[in-house]
Structure 1
Amino acid sequence: MNSARIPNNWRDRLPDAAAYYGPRVAKLGQPNGSGYAVGLCPFHDDHNPSFGVKLSSGRGHWRCYSGCGKGDMVEFHQRLTGLDFRAAVRELIGGGA
Protein backbone atom coordinates (compact mmCIF):
# COMPACT_ATOMS: atom_id res chain seq x y z
CA MET A 1 0.00 0.00 0.00
CA ASN A 2 1.34 3.40 -0.97
CA SER A 3 1.51 5.54 2.15
CA ALA A 4 2.06 8.81 0.26
CA ARG A 5 -0.07 11.67 1.48
CA ILE A 6 -3.18 12.60 -0.39
CA PRO A 7 -3.22 16.16 -1.73
CA ASN A 8 -4.68 18.91 0.44
CA ASN A 9 -7.19 19.81 -2.27
CA TRP A 10 -8.52 16.26 -2.72
CA ARG A 11 -12.13 17.33 -1.97
CA ASP A 12 -12.01 19.76 -4.88
CA ARG A 13 -10.81 16.97 -7.17
CA LEU A 14 -13.62 14.47 -6.51
CA PRO A 15 -15.59 13.49 -9.62
CA ASP A 16 -18.97 15.01 -10.42
CA ALA A 17 -21.54 13.23 -8.25
CA ALA A 18 -23.94 12.47 -11.13
CA ALA A 19 -21.12 11.04 -13.26
CA TYR A 20 -19.84 8.94 -10.36
CA TYR A 21 -23.11 7.54 -9.02
CA GLY A 22 -24.90 7.14 -12.36
CA PRO A 23 -23.20 3.87 -13.36
CA ARG A 24 -23.08 2.54 -9.77
CA VAL A 25 -26.70 3.04 -8.66
CA ALA A 26 -29.33 1.18 -10.68
CA LYS A 27 -32.35 3.18 -11.82
CA LEU A 28 -30.93 6.45 -10.49
CA GLY A 29 -33.50 9.09 -11.35
CA GLN A 30 -33.20 12.79 -12.02
CA PRO A 31 -32.56 15.08 -9.07
CA ASN A 32 -35.56 16.72 -7.43
CA GLY A 33 -35.75 20.38 -6.44
CA SER A 34 -33.46 19.75 -3.46
CA GLY A 35 -30.80 18.11 -5.65
CA TYR A 36 -31.52 14.54 -4.49
CA ALA A 37 -31.95 11.63 -6.89
CA VAL A 38 -33.34 8.24 -5.88
CA GLY A 39 -32.34 4.78 -7.10
CA LEU A 40 -31.85 1.18 -6.03
CA CYS A 41 -29.43 0.70 -3.14
CA PRO A 42 -26.35 -1.27 -4.23
CA PHE A 43 -25.81 -2.57 -0.69
CA HIS A 44 -28.92 -4.73 -0.36
CA ASP A 45 -31.44 -6.54 -2.56
CA ASP A 46 -33.50 -3.49 -3.39
CA HIS A 47 -36.68 -3.74 -5.47
CA ASN A 48 -38.11 -0.31 -4.64
CA PRO A 49 -35.81 2.71 -4.78
CA SER A 50 -34.56 3.37 -1.27
CA PHE A 51 -31.23 5.04 -2.00
CA GLY A 52 -30.99 8.83 -2.17
CA VAL A 53 -27.93 10.80 -3.26
CA LYS A 54 -27.46 14.56 -3.37
CA LEU A 55 -26.17 15.12 -6.88
CA SER A 56 -25.86 18.87 -6.43
CA SER A 57 -23.28 18.41 -3.67
CA GLY A 58 -19.59 18.10 -4.45
CA ARG A 59 -19.29 15.45 -1.79
CA GLY A 60 -22.20 13.38 -3.09
CA HIS A 61 -23.88 12.64 0.24
CA TRP A 62 -26.04 9.52 0.17
CA ARG A 63 -28.46 7.66 2.40
CA CYS A 64 -30.19 4.30 2.23
CA TYR A 65 -33.68 4.73 3.62
CA SER A 66 -33.84 0.98 4.32
CA GLY A 67 -31.07 1.18 6.91
CA CYS A 68 -27.86 0.36 4.99
CA GLY A 69 -26.21 3.58 6.08
CA LYS A 70 -25.27 7.04 4.90
CA GLY A 71 -22.17 9.01 4.08
CA ASP A 72 -20.31 10.87 1.39
CA MET A 73 -18.79 9.76 -1.91
CA VAL A 74 -15.56 8.54 -0.30
CA GLU A 75 -17.44 6.39 2.22
CA PHE A 76 -19.63 5.02 -0.58
CA HIS A 77 -16.55 4.17 -2.67
CA GLN A 78 -14.85 2.54 0.32
CA ARG A 79 -17.89 0.39 1.01
CA LEU A 80 -18.35 -0.53 -2.65
CA THR A 81 -14.69 -1.41 -3.26
CA GLY A 82 -13.33 -2.43 0.16
CA LEU A 83 -10.54 0.14 -0.10
CA ASP A 84 -9.23 2.08 2.87
CA PHE A 85 -9.75 5.85 3.01
CA ARG A 86 -6.49 6.90 1.33
CA ALA A 87 -6.77 4.33 -1.45
CA ALA A 88 -10.40 5.29 -2.07
CA VAL A 89 -9.53 8.99 -2.30
CA ARG A 90 -6.63 8.28 -4.65
CA GLU A 91 -8.82 6.18 -6.89
CA LEU A 92 -11.58 8.80 -6.94
CA ILE A 93 -9.25 11.65 -7.83
CA GLY A 94 -7.44 9.67 -10.49
CA GLY A 95 -4.62 8.17 -8.47
CA GLY A 96 -2.44 11.25 -8.59
CA ALA A 97 -1.07 13.33 -5.79
Structure 2
Amino acid sequence: MSRSPSTYLPKDWHDRLPDPANYYAQHLDKLGNIASDGWAMVPCPFHDDHSPSLRVRLTSRKGAYHCPACGAHGDMVAFHMARTELPFKEAVRDLIGFRGRA
Protein backbone atom coordinates (compact mmCIF):
# COMPACT_ATOMS: atom_id res chain seq x y z
CA MET A 1 0.00 0.00 0.00
CA SER A 2 1.40 3.37 -0.98
CA ARG A 3 1.06 6.37 1.30
CA SER A 4 -0.02 9.78 0.16
CA PRO A 5 2.91 12.24 0.15
CA SER A 6 0.96 14.53 2.48
CA THR A 7 0.83 11.83 5.18
CA TYR A 8 4.37 10.50 4.85
CA LEU A 9 6.93 11.39 7.50
CA PRO A 10 10.48 10.07 7.28
CA LYS A 11 11.41 7.70 10.11
CA ASP A 12 14.11 10.08 11.32
CA TRP A 13 11.92 13.19 11.40
CA HIS A 14 12.79 13.81 15.08
CA ASP A 15 16.45 14.11 14.11
CA ARG A 16 15.64 16.53 11.27
CA LEU A 17 13.84 19.11 13.40
CA PRO A 18 15.57 22.50 13.52
CA ASP A 19 17.62 23.53 16.51
CA PRO A 20 15.16 25.05 19.03
CA ALA A 21 17.39 28.08 19.64
CA ASN A 22 17.45 28.92 15.92
CA TYR A 23 13.76 28.18 15.42
CA TYR A 24 12.54 30.32 18.31
CA ALA A 25 14.97 33.13 17.47
CA GLN A 26 13.43 33.29 13.98
CA HIS A 27 9.79 33.04 15.12
CA LEU A 28 9.64 35.11 18.31
CA ASP A 29 10.34 38.78 18.91
CA LYS A 30 12.59 39.91 21.73
CA LEU A 31 13.92 36.49 22.72
CA GLY A 32 15.68 36.94 26.05
CA ASN A 33 19.04 35.59 27.09
CA ILE A 34 19.35 31.89 27.81
CA ALA A 35 19.40 31.20 31.54
CA SER A 36 21.74 28.59 33.01
CA ASP A 37 18.87 26.07 32.96
CA GLY A 38 18.47 26.47 29.16
CA TRP A 39 15.22 28.47 29.25
CA ALA A 40 14.65 31.96 27.79
CA MET A 41 11.77 34.38 28.34
CA VAL A 42 9.81 36.13 25.61
CA PRO A 43 6.44 37.89 25.28
CA CYS A 44 3.84 35.19 24.58
CA PRO A 45 2.38 35.30 21.05
CA PHE A 46 -0.76 33.45 22.18
CA HIS A 47 -2.23 36.28 24.27
CA ASP A 48 -1.87 40.04 24.70
CA ASP A 49 1.40 39.93 26.61
CA HIS A 50 3.18 43.15 27.58
CA SER A 51 6.01 41.53 29.49
CA PRO A 52 7.79 38.26 28.86
CA SER A 53 5.77 35.37 30.27
CA LEU A 54 6.51 32.62 27.74
CA ARG A 55 9.43 30.37 28.62
CA VAL A 56 11.09 28.44 25.79
CA ARG A 57 13.66 25.69 26.28
CA LEU A 58 16.45 26.39 23.84
CA THR A 59 18.87 23.66 24.89
CA SER A 60 16.70 20.57 24.49
CA ARG A 61 15.95 18.71 21.27
CA LYS A 62 12.19 19.05 21.70
CA GLY A 63 12.19 22.80 22.39
CA ALA A 64 9.53 22.87 25.10
CA TYR A 65 7.54 26.02 25.81
CA HIS A 66 5.24 27.11 28.62
CA CYS A 67 3.25 30.24 29.43
CA PRO A 68 1.80 30.30 32.95
CA ALA A 69 -0.33 33.34 32.04
CA CYS A 70 -2.42 31.70 29.29
CA GLY A 71 -1.59 28.03 29.77
CA ALA A 72 0.02 27.51 26.35
CA HIS A 73 2.55 24.69 26.49
CA GLY A 74 4.08 21.87 24.49
CA ASP A 75 7.10 21.23 22.32
CA MET A 76 8.41 22.95 19.21
CA VAL A 77 6.09 20.95 16.94
CA ALA A 78 3.06 21.96 19.02
CA PHE A 79 4.24 25.58 18.94
CA HIS A 80 4.58 25.46 15.16
CA MET A 81 1.13 23.87 14.86
CA ALA A 82 -0.41 26.63 17.00
CA ARG A 83 1.33 29.42 15.07
CA THR A 84 0.65 28.05 11.57
CA GLU A 85 -2.64 26.22 12.20
CA LEU A 86 -1.20 23.19 10.40
CA PRO A 87 -2.10 19.65 11.46
CA PHE A 88 0.67 17.58 13.07
CA LYS A 89 2.13 15.84 10.02
CA GLU A 90 2.05 18.98 7.88
CA ALA A 91 3.67 21.00 10.69
CA VAL A 92 6.45 18.43 11.00
CA ARG A 93 6.95 18.38 7.23
CA ASP A 94 7.14 22.19 7.25
CA LEU A 95 9.68 22.20 10.10
CA ILE A 96 11.97 19.67 8.45
CA GLY A 97 11.73 21.27 5.00
CA PHE A 98 9.92 18.27 3.58
CA ARG A 99 6.80 20.07 2.33
CA GLY A 100 5.68 19.22 -1.16
CA ARG A 101 8.13 16.34 -1.57
CA ALA A 102 6.86 12.93 -2.61
TM-score (norm 2): 0.87
2:46 corresponds to 1:50: no
Match of 2:16 in 1: 13
State the alpha-carbon separation in 2 of the partners of residues 27 and 51 from structure 1: 11
CA-CA distance at 1:27 after TM superposition: 1.2
CA 52–74 in structure 1, closer or farther in 2 if over 3 Å, else same: same
Q: Is the 8 A contact 2:65 2:74 kept in 1?
A: yes
Q: Distance in 2 between matches of 1:6 and 1:69?
A: 26
Distance in structure 2 (CA, Å) of the matches to 1:16 and 1:3? 24
Cα distance in 2 between the residues matched to 1:15 and 1:26: 18
- Cα distance in 2 between the residues matched to 1:43 and 1:73: 14
Q: Distance in 1 between matches of 2:67 and 2:43?
A: 9
Aligned to 2:96: 93
Q: What letter matches 1:40 in structure 2?
A: P
Identity over aligned pairs, percent: 47
Is the contact made by 1:24 and 1:42 (CA closer than 8 Å) also made in structure 2? no
Unpaired segments ≥5 residues, structure 1: none
Whether the aligned pair in 2 keeps the contact of 1:26 and 1:41 (CA below 8 Å) is no
Unaligned runs of 5+ in 2: none
> Who is 1:38 aligned against?
41
Please tell me the root mean square deviation across aligned C-alpha atoms, in Å.
1.6
| Aligned position for 2:76 | 73
Q: Which has the larger radius of gyration?
A: 2
AA aligned opposite 1:9: D
